[in-house]
Amino acid sequence: MISPAAAHRNLLLFVLPALAVYLVFAVLPLATSIVMSFFQTNGVSGDTFVGLANYVRLFTHPTISARFWNALLNNMQYFAIHLIVEVPMGLLLAALLTSGKLARSEGIYRTLLFIPATLSVVIVGFVWRLIINPLWGLVGFPLLGTESTALTTISLMSVWQYFGIPMVFLYSALLAVPNELVEAANIDGAGGWTTFWKIKFPLIAPQFGLIAILTYIWTFNGFDLVFALNGSAPGPNYSTDILGTYFYRTFFGSSGQLADLDLGAAVATIIFLTVLLVTAVYFWLIQRRLKSYSV
Amino acid sequence: MRSMRVSISLAATLGVMFSGGVGAAFADPVTITLNSWRTEDIAVWQDTILPAFEAKHPDIKVEFAPINTNEYNAAIQSQIEGGAGGDLITCRPFDVNREWIKRGYFESLEGLPGLENFDKTSRAAWSGADDKAYCLPVAAVLAGFYYNADIFKELGLKVPTTSAEFIDVLQAIKKDGRYTPLAYGSAESWQLAYNGLYSIGPAYWKGEEGRLGLIDGKKKLTDPEFVDAIAAFEAWKPFLPAGQESLNYADMTQLFTLGKAAILPDGSWDINQATSTGLNIGVFGPPVPKAGDQRYLQEMPDMGIGINAKSTHKEAAKTFLDWVAGPEFQELYVNAAPGFFAMSSKPVTYKNKLAQDFADLKQGAELTPRLALDRLSAGTPPLDDETWRLLQVMFTKSDVTPQQVATELQTGLASWYGPQKK
């Protein structure tokens, strides 16, 4: 029997390797990037501390701020579409998979439905671009080339790719619902519909909070699909620009555009805070309360 | 081949080690690094160009170290500012490079004998505010129109020389109905500017006269010559394929190479792609507004090479650049990478027929770089980005006029560019 103090020490020792990697490859770059956002690293003359100047520029320059708010609003829409379409889709498919109606083919369907989530975004973007290509594809209307439909189109491609994730979450939660409860409900005369909504659904409800917050984190750190489809100045007229592409454009520049590392660092910090604050609020306020409700 | 080179250099190294490094003939070669954004050129440099140089200068080894195009500017900026970076840096044209010069990234090239092979206009894209040269001009790209000669023959069409003839040709192809007149779409906004407006526009704004006029503040984008140019570009709209709003660059090229479209407005860099299916293809230059008008052609300085101010091998780097300035390199490079054109005043022969045709378009034409990349894009909003965006808006919406595009471009430019503020 080891003493609590020794157990504590051992615990630290075991955590150390992971902690070291995390510190060096995640915390340190993040901290450096935040520090950088307070500097003007312009030229070989060295770095000058400029306080909040980069942030002031980000939020007050007519063009820079307009593009930023546009990207933020687009990102919210991108998130909302994911939430509204992906979650009900995941729930429906998870419910069908666990309904027992599929019998032995359940495993096959589960795998098939999850496959898109394992594909590379470049492939997803390429395939969908061909499918909806007005020249060679199935849809005559230029979905990606029209301002009002472009963002929704890209969001739905992303939904198609990732609906497997909420599906798997809800699927495993549904499997964890104790059979006795379902049987008891059946004996009480509840049909499949009632059992699902009155027994199963309340038990898996806590999953929705988790799925929502994960979707939030993913979509606000989103970048790859938009970049793969539309590059770093996603049009038309920046209608598919999200925070990730906005950051990329600012930080990396382009052939005719200087890379603005400092402003880019400020954008990255704002994205980080946007994700951090909402996630923190969620965990403090909602997730803790939900825990007491789950079985 | 490679293993032989490795074993030779291994033997050389061992030789040096055993002789105590005294043997002058076997002295360790200096190795210099060349940074570039042309990852696709690795083979060209490693197999063709560098061996040719090293054969002449066995004391210098050059290592070609490309960086991903999209990350090139950021990578170079952070490397040089951190005191690193290659000995030789490939230079972006105009504004980006001007800022890099201002930040002291480059060693001045004044006094380099090879510089004399280039005239002032060719050097302009890479000179500093002090008018001194900081990068050696390496290659330029041209923009024009590829056309399917068989379709032209079948429909009895002649290569157009004026704007009116150009529209007539498009009309005739459209009327025939079997082919798309223009393989062109607006999903990728950059090429609306680079292969569209900046290609046909100079004939309206008189090339350098209009471009420098904007830089001096003597002209405005709302002046008739610019609005007319935008209007002439908008006139292409009825001749684009259905759903052009969603067609990207690859789609357009494909439409043309499959023989389904008659004309592809594109840059010289696409020569290999455009001819990949073996069609009978020719090129023509941008049409002029009226018969007998001066012809203009977009010649865009694309890359130069400069010396990192912090390099420890400046002499070796200068030797290399001097060789790059000479005819041997120029011919090797432009023939290994068809679509790129030498900027030197010494004549160069192109082995690729279409490349030679492109080069011939320069005869009798006044050359001008892309409109908005010199000074006019060094602030926010950059004129170039705004041009991409607004041309795309004009091509994807039906209710935006050339006049509105010009007005919005001018407003954006005047919001930060000194000579245009009034």
Does residue A103 belong to the interface with chain B, where contact is any CB pair within 8 Å?
Answer: no
Cβ B73 vs Cβ A254: under 8 Å:
yes
Cβ B184 vs Cβ B236: under 8 Å:
yes
CB proximity list for A16: less than 8 A, separation 6 or greater = none
- The DSSP 8-state label assigned to residue A233 in this structure reads S
pLDDT at residue B2 is higher than 60:
no
- pLDDT attached to residue B215: 95
Which of the two residues, B19 and B228, has the higher pLDDT score?
A: B228
In chain A, which residues have their Cβ closer than 8 Å to the Cβ of B102? 43
Cβ B406 vs Cβ B227: under 8 Å:
yes
Tell the CATH superfamily of the B142-299+362-420 domain.
Answer: Periplasmic binding protein-like II (3.40.190.10)
pLDDT tens string A199-233: 999 999 888 989 999 999 999 999 999 999 988 88
Distances (CA, A) of B78 to A67, A95, B34, B71, B73: 25, 52, 16, 11, 9
Count helices and strands in chain B by DSSP H and E runs: 20, 10
pLDDT at residue B140 is higher than 70:
yes
Cβ B210 vs Cβ B198: under 8 Å:
no
pLDDT tens string B311-362: 999 999 999 999 999 999 999 999 998 899 999 888 888 999 999 999 999 9
User: How far is the C-alpha of B351 from the C-alpha of A266, rounded, in Å?
Assistant: 50
Structure tokens at A127: 């395939």
Handedness of CA A226, A227, A228, A233 (dihedral sign): positive
Does residue B270 belong to the interface with chain A, where contact is any CB pair within 8 Å?
Answer: no
Cβ A283 vs Cβ B105: under 8 Å:
no
Find tokens 């701020």 and name the residue: A65
In chain A, which residues have their Cβ closer than 8 Å to the Cβ of B248? 129
ipTM associated with this complex: 0.85
DSSP for B33-77? EEEES-GGGHHIIIIIIHHHHHHH-TTEEEEEEE--GGGHHHHHH
Distances (CA, A) of B241 to A89, B56, B178, B247: 36, 52, 12, 9
- pTM for this structure? 0.87
Does residue B339 belong to the interface with chain A, where contact is any CB pair within 8 Å?
Answer: no
- A41–B389: do the CB atoms touch at under 8 Å? no
Structure tokens at B405: 């595009």
pLDDT at residue B18 is higher than 70:
no
User: Average pLDDT, stretch B413-422?
Assistant: 92
CATH number of B2-138+301-345: 3.40.190.10
The domain locations on chain B are: 2-138+301-345, 142-299+362-420
Please provide the size of chain B in residues: 422
Strand partners, B298: B368
Please state whether beta strands A48-49 and A39-40 pair in parallel, antiparallel, or not at all (unpaired). Answer: antiparallel
Q: Where are the beta strands (DSSP E) in B191-348?
A: 261-267, 281-284, 295-308
Structure tokens at B282: 């020719």
User: How far is the C-alpha of A266 from the C-alpha of A50, rounded, in Å?
Assistant: 12
- pLDDT attached to residue A259: 84
Q: Which parts of chain A register pLDDT below 50? A: 292-295
User: How far is the C-alpha of B313 from the C-alpha of A35, rounded, in Å?
Assistant: 34
Interface test with A, best of B92, B97, B245 (most A CBs within 10 A): B245
Domains B2-138+301-345 and B142-299+362-420 share a fold: yes
- pLDDT attached to residue B24: 42
**Mind listing the domains of chain A with CATH numbers?**
4-49 (no CATH), 62-293 (1.10.3720.10)
Strand partners, B282: B147
- pLDDT attached to residue A295: 43
- pLDDT attached to residue B27: 60
pLDDT tens string B266-279: 999 999 889 889 99
Q: What is the mean pLDDT of chain B?
A: 90
- B105–A135: do the CB atoms touch at under 8 Å? no
- A256–B94: do the CB atoms touch at under 8 Å? yes
Q: Which residue of B has its CA nearest to A136?
A: B251
